[in-house]
Amino acid sequence: MIKANAVTKVVDTSEGSLQILRPISFEVKSGESVAIIGASGSGKSTLLGLLAGLDQVTEGEIFLDNEALHSMNEEERAILRGNKVGFIFQSFMLVQSLTALENVMLPAEIAGLDNPKALALDILEQVGLKHRAHHFPNQLSGGEQQRVAIARAFITLPKILFADEPTGNLDAKNSEKIEALLFEMNREKGTTLILVTHDNELAEHCDRQLTMNAGELVETTGANTINRKEAV
Amino acid sequence: MSTSFNLGWRLFKHEARRGELTIILLAIVLSVAAVLSLSLFSERLQGALKSRSAAFIAADAQLRSDDPINEEWLTRAQEQGLATAKQVATRSMVFKGDEMSLVDLRAVNSAYPLKGTVNITDQPFGEKRATAELPQPGEAWVQSRLFQSLGLTIGDDIEIGDGNFTVTHVLVDIPDAGFSVFNTDPIALINLDDLDKTAITGPGSRARYVGFFAGDSGDIESFNTWLLPQLNDDLHSWRTVEDDESAIGRSVASAERYFLLASLLAIVLAAVSIAVAAQRYAQRHFDPVAIMKTLGATSNTIRKVYLFQILFITGLGIFIGLVVGFIGQQVVVSLVADRVDVSLDVWHWRPLLIAVATGATCALLFSLYPLLQLFSVPPLRVLRKDISANLRSRTIQFVASGGAIFLLMWMYSRDLKISAILFVSGAALVLGLLGATYILIAIGRKLGSGRMGPWQLAWARIKRRAMDNSVQLISFSVTIMLLLVVLVMRNDMVSQWRSQLPEGTPNYFLINITPDIRPELDRHFSDNGVSIEEFYPVIRGRFVSVNGEGVNTEVSKEDEPNRDGRRGLGREANLTWGNSLQKENEIIDGSWHGYEDKQYNEGWFPVSVEEGVAERLNIEMGDRLTFNVGSEIVETKVTSIRTVNWQTMQPNFFFVIHPDAMAAFSPTYITSFYLPTDRKAELTNLLKPFSSITMFDVDARINQLREIVDQVSVAVEFILVLVLMAGSLVLIAQVQASMDERKQEIAILRTLGAKGGLIRKSVIFEFVIIGVVAGFMAAMANELSLYLLQTTVFQMEASLHPEYWAIAPSVGAIVVGILGAFGCYRLLTLNTGQMLRNMV
């Protein structure tokens, strides 16, 4: 489903070029759940951004569902994201001036799906928030906002779901709930999950863990381990 | 399309309901309302002023001709929907038995006057009343002075040329009587059908044929366009209300320019507030755009969503603005109705179109750059909040904003000069402010270090948010400057108008005073408690040559044998002489001839020439001018050129000669005096002993002029208030917008335990610093703008206004500081937790 081949990322700063990612290679199979773990600043969010097509690689190749993400422009990547990718963020990233329902409808409308409202209500029911459909994000608790975000992520039945610290802003109780919901939905919809976290417990729920350190992929644990040499 | 439309509509609906669009909506509403109310009010006011001015030329436009006016032209005008009337004016002798007098004869047709009224009275110098009637064939209406000089009574017969007429009314005035102390003979009004029987307008006569036209200004303009190619400059002249060169005409014209200026400034104020609001609006949408892009929205979709949203906002803003503006000007009109004439026609299309165009242009062009910034927000912002717009170049912003302002100004004023002046001084202000901001920040860098008191915090914030602060400083300064320009311009203009006609301005002129009765007249008047102004000697002379080269002396073209000859005055000149320069006269070239100036031993005498006539007759310093006075020749040499203020109600002269040149002649004198209206009845007694003196009554003219000046001043004050309100709202919008940006910092400071007092003081100090600098910069820029406006647009004397150098920074500090305090108070009442959550 995802294939990263010697991916690097270099950014220009006022003090010269800074290499954020050293050549990284790995593969993720369809339906697999993979956690990218590592300390703050290790480059895991940068890697997520590249894999999801939010940013452009400096060198290397990324194939997402057999499509060459690295050679696409921003417009092509946007279309690809709309059709195949779902997102969940640490800070929920809901549009504050849209209701829960409208936030969930948003990707369905962008992708041009039929009857987005019915789809959204249906999925809101699945996350247990149908009764809060017409509330605005600031009228919802953090846990509720993240459930809305999960509903939004799954409405288009994406092939791949990227989650960036999905429980990072939540208390322990809410974290557990969200974690459970996320993996349940993931299983149910057969989605490939790429999850960035520094929560080892959350990472262990995934089929596999990729550990990042100073821009390098240093360790791969869990099932389906690929050749580590290739990753260095 | 429908997805973008739905999304745009949804965002608009919720944001409007939740009050998130208040500032940008308010800015658009403000721009539309200010422009509509100002231009509608000024249009209505101008309508009324124009119709008053129209009364002075008895029409909306006049065609004057030395030949009879082509009847086809009048027919054509009527076909184009214009009303027309005709008049033939000439000077002629009137006889009653052996007595005779020169009159200003006006023969009019039944449609005359198209504007204004003919006023009559029952007895000479009696109380006037308007009449809709005109002299019937065989009748003549003549002015009181003719009754006085010919000893007439109502019902007497008089002869004009070959015709006999019965005097049936005392004429007080006609609308287009004109105003001149000299060459003014009493008016005799007769029916145009009677003109032939007088046989005074044959070949060689000096008659002036006038066609009057009234109607919509558009119709007048299109008729003029049609007529213009057929006119002969030597014979014809076209005059409209706007060409009125009288004091009234000039006051109205400068008031119009002021309204225009005020409205232009209102547009700029509106534009500034929209720019501020649009920037804030765009910044608030960085996240939603990043989210939508992440979720797969293409740039095209994003563009459409926001275009729709901006269109919805603009549409709503324009609609509310029109309603508010219309109600606003109705309120103003009802408030001033008893003091100011306004046209009753409440609906004018031009202000409406201008208001809509202003709202739309400002909203769209000023949001262009913020929107482009918005569109460039990369999706990666969902992961990294520090990433904002990709658009770095501000060229497009400067081009779009500057272009929009200039375009609006030009479109609205249709006056490139006034627009360019405001635009250039505005641009200079912006550049100056940028420099000032950097200096301020450099100073602040030193002051800002040390223990964190409120001042240090304020400086630290100014320092850190250098770019934001410079933008804010610029907008504060521009707003304060525009308010200053409108305020100072109004003060200068109104005081200049009023100074033209101070209390006690002479309202009666006496002419034909012979030297022998002068002392007696002086004594008699002072015995009666009436003080007489200066006596000016006057003698008529014909201006015959320049440097020995003869000039044309006749006005009638038929009488001029040599049309190519040097241009003459066209009539006898009124020559005066004196040692001292008259009031309101100014030497612009050469030097004034004092009595001691005995340079005339070569046989010529110094003469001072009025600038306009010198230009018209191509007279230069050192030229030798020859006058023919009676049978004598007076040789003069131009030793000075003067400007004359024609707007003053005093006798003004083209030529003032050294007294020694005229010693041999016996002049008559002219003088003026002031008599309050309630003492008017004493006039007959005052003048009884002096039957040879002619009195000229300008009281009505002065009152009319004063009334118009008062009216225009009141209107100008209301416009000032409107612009002040608009400006204040802009300041509030700016402070509110900047408060939004401060939210985050205040939340952090609160979380860290900073006391409300510290935060409040630091924010107030920050605004006070910005207010002082903005006020000072505004005062400087104000001087520059005023200098340019006064010298080039308003034809006034430029003046410095040092008092505002102190007032503007103080007021800036106080107003901006108070606004900052209020904004800050609101933020401090917010729950810190809530603020922090919203920041995430």
B-contacting residues in A 137-196 (Cβ below 8 Å): 138, 152, 164, 169
Nearest CA in chain B to A107: B295
> A16 at the B interface (CB within 8 A)?
no
Among candidates B14, B298, B383 on the partner chain, residue whose Cβ is nearest the Cβ of A48: B383
The partner residues of B624 in beta bridges, in order of sequence, read B637
| 3-state SS class at A169 | coil
Q: How far apart are CA A29 and CA A44, in angstroms?
A: 19
> Using CA atoms, how far apart are residues B552 and B169, in angstroms rounded to an integer?
40
Q: What gap in Å lies between CA B86 and CA A74, rounded to an integer?
A: 76
Q: Tokens at residue B789, please?
A: 């406006």
Interchain CB distance below 8 Å, B383 and A85: no
- For B349-377, how does the pLDDT look when each residue is reduced to its tens digit (9 = 90+)? 778 888 898 888 888 888 888 888 888 88
Confidence of residue B765 (pLDDT cuts 50, 70, 90): confident
HSE-up of B506 (CA within 13 Å, CB side)?
20
Strand B605-610 versus strand A216-222 pairing type:
unpaired
Q: Identify the pLDDT of residue B689.
A: 80
Q: How far is A218 from chain B (nearest CA, A)?
A: 23
Put simply, whether B445 touches A (Cβ < 8 Å) is no
- Could you write out the DSSP letters of every residue in B599-634? GGGGS-EEEEEEHHHHHHTT--TT-EEEEEETTEEE
CA distance B443 to A184: 60
Where does B559-600 have alpha helices with state H?
none
- B340 pLDDT tier (thresholds 50, 70, 90): low
Q: In Å, how far is A16's CA from the nearest CA of chain B?
A: 19
Per-residue pLDDT tens over the stretch B88-126: 998 888 888 888 888 889 999 999 998 888 999 888 877
**Is the previous residue joined to A158 through a cis bond, with omega within 30 degrees of 0?**
no
- Our measurement of the distance from residue B192's CA atom to the centroid of its chain's CA atoms, rounded to an integer in Å, reads 38
Average pLDDT over residues B203-218: 82
Give dist(CA B272, CA B733) in Å, integer.
10
Per the CB < 8 A criterion, the answer to whether B270 and B35 are in contact is yes
Q: Say if B60 is an interface residue toward chain A (CB within 8 Å).
A: no
- Quote the tokens at residue B302: 């994003």
Look up residue A84 and give its two tokens: 């195949």
CB contact under 8 A, B7 and A109: yes
**Structure-block tokens of residue B773:** 């600098």
Mutation for B interface: A13, A55, A92, A95, most B CBs within 10 A: A95
pTM: predicted TM-score of the whole model, two decimal places = 0.68
Sorted by sequence, the CB contacts under 8 Å of residue B621 that are 6+ apart come out as: B589, B590, B638, B639, B640, B641
Closest among B838, B818, B820 to B830, alpha carbons compared: B838
Q: Are B71 and B295 in contact (CB under 8 A)?
A: no
**Residue A72 near chain B (CB below 8 Å):** no
Please give the residue of chain B at the shortest CA–CA distance from A85. B295
Q: Are B459 and B452 in contact (CB under 8 A)?
A: no
Of B10, B296, B838, the CB nearest to A111: B296
Q: How far is CA B510 from the centre of its chain?
A: 33
pLDDT tens-digit map of B533-563: 788 888 888 888 888 887 765 443 333 334 4
What ipTM was assigned to the predicted interfaces of this complex? Answer: 0.90
Contact B379 A48 (CB under 8 A): no
| Residue B322 pLDDT exceeds 90 | yes
Amino acid at A1: M
A82 lies within 8 A of chain B by CB: yes
Can you say whether the dihedral through the CA atoms of B287, B291, B292, B297 is positive or negative?
positive
State mean pLDDT over B597-603.
Answer: 60
From first to last of the 232 residues of chain A, give the pLDDT tens digit.
Answer: 899 999 999 988 777 888 888 899 999 988 899 999 988 888 888 899 999 898 889 999 999 999 998 899 888 999 999 889 999 888 888 998 899 999 999 999 988 888 999 999 999 998 888 999 999 998 998 889 988 998 999 898 899 999 988 888 778 888 888 888 888 888 888 889 999 988 888 888 888 999 988 888 887 776 544 433 333 3
SS3 B675: coil
Is A89 within 8 Å of B292 when comparing Cβ atoms?
Answer: no
Instruction: Indicate the pairing of strand A192-196 with strand B163-173.
Output: unpaired
Q: Using N-to-C axis directions, what is the helix angle for B247-284 and B395-413, rounded to 10°? A: 150
CB pairs below 8 Å between A and B: how many?
92
| Residues on chain A touching B291 (C-beta within 8 angstroms) | 93-95, 106
Nearest-CA residue of chain A relative to B9? Answer: A98
The two beta strands, A192-196 and A160-164, are: parallel
Residues B490 and B258 sit within 8 Å (Cβ to Cβ): yes
Task: Give which of B677, B612, B618 is closest to B646, Cα–Cα.
Answer: B612
Strands B83-96 and B208-214 turn out to be antiparallel
**Pair of tokens at residue B389:** 């717009």
Cβ proximity of B579 and B537 under 8 Å: no
> What is chain B's mean pLDDT, rounded?
79
Using DSSP's 3-state secondary structure scheme, residue B299 falls into helix
**B152-171, pLDDT tens digit by residue?**
888 999 998 888 999 999 99
* Four-residue CA torsion sign, B631, B632, B633, B638: negative
Measured between beta carbons, the chain B residues lying within 8 angstroms of A152 are 295
Q: How far apart are CA A184 and CA B505, in angstroms?
A: 97
| Predicted confidence (pLDDT) per residue in B236-249, tens digit | 888 876 665 555 66
> Chain A: residue nearest B837 by CA?
A138
Contact B292 A91 (CB under 8 A): no
What's the DSSP call for residue B581? P
Q: How many CA atoms lie within 13 A of B600 on its CB side?
A: 24
Q: In chain A, which residue's Cα lies nearest the Cα of B376?
A: A74
